Structure 1
Amino acid sequence: MHPMLNIAVRAARNAGDLIQRSADNIDRLTINQKSKYDYASEVDYQAEREIIRVIRNAYPEHAILAEESGEHEGNDYVWVIDPLDGTTNFLHGFPQYSVSIALKVKGKIELGVIYDPGRDELFTAERGGGAMLNNRRIRVARQASLQGALLGTGFPFRSEEHLDDYLAMFRSLCAATSGIRRPGSAALDLAYVAAGRLDGFWEIGLKEWDMAAGVLLIQEAGGVVTDFSFNSHYLQSGNIIAGNPKMHQLIYQHIEPHVTDKLK
């Protein structure tokens, strides 16, 4: 395992342990409402500080982009951190949340870790080295049609601007598949696509820390990831389609008629 991936795993597990120790005391936590539908608890901040501590101890010269504390200056190595993806789930005792850590080098994602502390499931990926779940190689599903497919998604909760467009996409895909799930942690949804648990995924308005690690997992598991314009600007636009090559194309065909200029 790459030394930097070892550090990411250690940081993710430390953060996950902290999160799980707090899971039985949710009613005592201090909660900050960042925006109308976006919350952060003291656990988010504590987990982020622990991740940054582990990374900075090993690589003090590296830069960091973290959900709660923003940008920390450094060199061309940038760690992209979501300390608790699925905070709303966590605060309700709904066991679907994760820690997500990725490393970009000169703008390219090279390492990714997503850790589900509740299930003790560790998803890891190295560029060119494949994707793993608890040290076993994973691949995207082979599903070649929407009939019988299970898709993941996320509602555009941060803004209602694109809600009508999203609902039109949802309506089209819902009628064509065997089911659509919205569990509430985009990082885990993407990890599930990499592991073949979901056949595909799409969402509007994600942040870089929501998807950086998951994107690499899917690519290293044999999948395809693009934005709604069929290119690789998803980290900038926040709009994403993912799946095996055939499933990705089928999802795109259903949502493309509802993609407005603002979503391209």
Structure 2
Amino acid sequence: MKHDLTSGALAELLGRTANAVHQAGDIIREHDRLPRRIRHKASPKDLVTETDVAVEAFLREHLGRLVPEAGFLGEEGSSGLGLAGLAWVVDPVDGTTNFAHGVPFVATSVALCQDGVPLLGVVNLPLLGEIFTAGLGLGARRNGEGIRVSDTATLLEALVATGFPYRIEEHQDAILRQLALAMPATQGVRRAGAAALDLAFVACGRYDGFFEFALNPWDTAAGVLLIQEAGGQVGRMTGHGPYRLGDPDILATNGRLEPALKALLTRADAPASEA
């Protein structure tokens, strides 16, 4: 179903969405004071807590009231048509492993998408006291204040971030090659363990770039819009063209660094004789 929103209507919906996501953060803050109840999903490294389930249930109900016709694609369970048509794309607790160990690098990521294109996005960092919001054509904000990507122009001055997928064995060799090249070529490489947080940090200029394999749409949907609305660029480590939700890899930068960082990461994918 096509959903047309004027800029005013989109701004109002963004505000109401941010309010719901902020309220969901109360669940995370409350559970952060309690003992963790953890179970495993597909692998011993792929964790889920009762907090993930509770936050997603809260958001499913409250976002459903805001746009009843939208589908819902969430990490802990989906309904509707996924990315087809109008859909909420939700990661209730990005950084579950962090949360399970008491590390505060935890995010809730919510985006409303039309056929996989984010219209609005919210990334809340409830244990750090920051909430990032963006609307298509409306800019990006942190705690209500406008944000922009950095103006860093060289890799040697750049602080970049990456992440490691749960199925690390499928990408381990490529990741190690990337790190071997990126660590000496940049000012530093960080790994927070929550892609939505990483993308928000690129949007506000704390990081100059971010790259990772095997992220899901709920990891990236809100963060991609944050970066685009903050003046940055989101593409692919491999291949050409813009990043689309569900692509097998992502490269997000302030725009100025995209050619150099992409070239470096492409070298990591080259055969040893060409690298």
Q: TM-score, normalized by length of structure 1?
A: 0.93
Identity %: 40
Aligned to 2:3: none
Q: Is it true that 1:241 corresponds to 2:251 in the alignment?
A: yes
SS of aligned partner of 1:229? coil
**What secondary structure is seen at the aligned counterpart in 2 of 1:196?**
coil
What's 2:154 paired with? 145
Contact in 2 for aligned 1:26/1:91 (Cα 8 Å):
no
Is 1:191 aligned to 2:200, yes or no? yes
- Correspondence for 2:29: 20
**Matching residue of 2:11:** 2
Equivalence for 1:58: 66
The amino acid across from 1:142 in the alignment is D
Q: Where does residue 53 of structure 2 map in the other structure? A: 45
TM-score (norm 2): 0.89
Deviations 1:22-79 (Å, cap 9, x if unpaired)?
Answer: 001134x243434232111011000000001101122222111000012334982110
The answer to whether residue 243 in structure 2 is matched with residue 254 in structure 1 is no
**Deviation of the 1:156 alpha carbon:** 2.8
Classify 1:260/1:237 alpha carbon distance in 2 versus 1 (closer, same or farther; 3 Å): farther
User: Mean alpha-carbon deviation: is it higher for 161-170 or for 190-199?
Assistant: 161-170
1:165 match: 174
Which position in structure 2 is the counterpart of 1:11? Answer: 20
Give the drift of 1:108.
Answer: 1.5
Per-residue displacement from partner, 1:215-250 (whole Å, max 9, x unpaired)? 000011010100121322442323111112221211
1:77 and 1:106 in contact (8 A); partners too: yes
Unmatched segments (≥5 aa) in structure 2: 1-9
Amino acid across the alignment from 1:5: L
Contact 1:143/1:199 (<8 A) preserved: yes
CA distance in 2, matches of 1:260, 1:211: 26
CA distance in 2, matches of 1:252, 1:65: 30
Given that residues 7 and 54 in structure 1 are in contact (C-alpha distance below 8 angstroms), is that contact kept between their aligned partners in structure 2?
Answer: no
TM-superposed deviation, 1:158: 2.3
The structure 1 segments of at least 4 consecutive aligned residues displaced by more than 6 Å after TM superposition are none
Q: Counterpart in 2 of 1:108?
A: 117
For residues 71-109 of structure 1, the C-alpha deviation after alignment (integer angstroms, 9 at most, x for no partner) is: 334982110000000000001000100100001113321
Q: Output one character per residue of 1:244-263: Cα deviation in whole Å (capped at 9) or x when no partner.
A: 222121110101123379xx
3-state SS, counterpart of residue 245 of structure 1: coil
Q: Which moved more, 1:165-174 or 1:69-78?
A: 69-78
SS in structure 2 of the partner of residue 31 of structure 1: strand
Q: Which runs of 5+ in 1 are unaligned?
A: none
Let me know the Cα RMSD of the aligned residues: 1.8
Compared CA separation, residues 108 and 234, structure 1 to 2 (3 A): closer
Q: Which residue in the other structure is 1:207 paired with?
A: 216
Name the CA distance, whole Å, in 1 between partners of 2:194 and 2:90. 14
Distance, in Å, in 2 between the alignment partners of 1:171 and 1:49 is 41
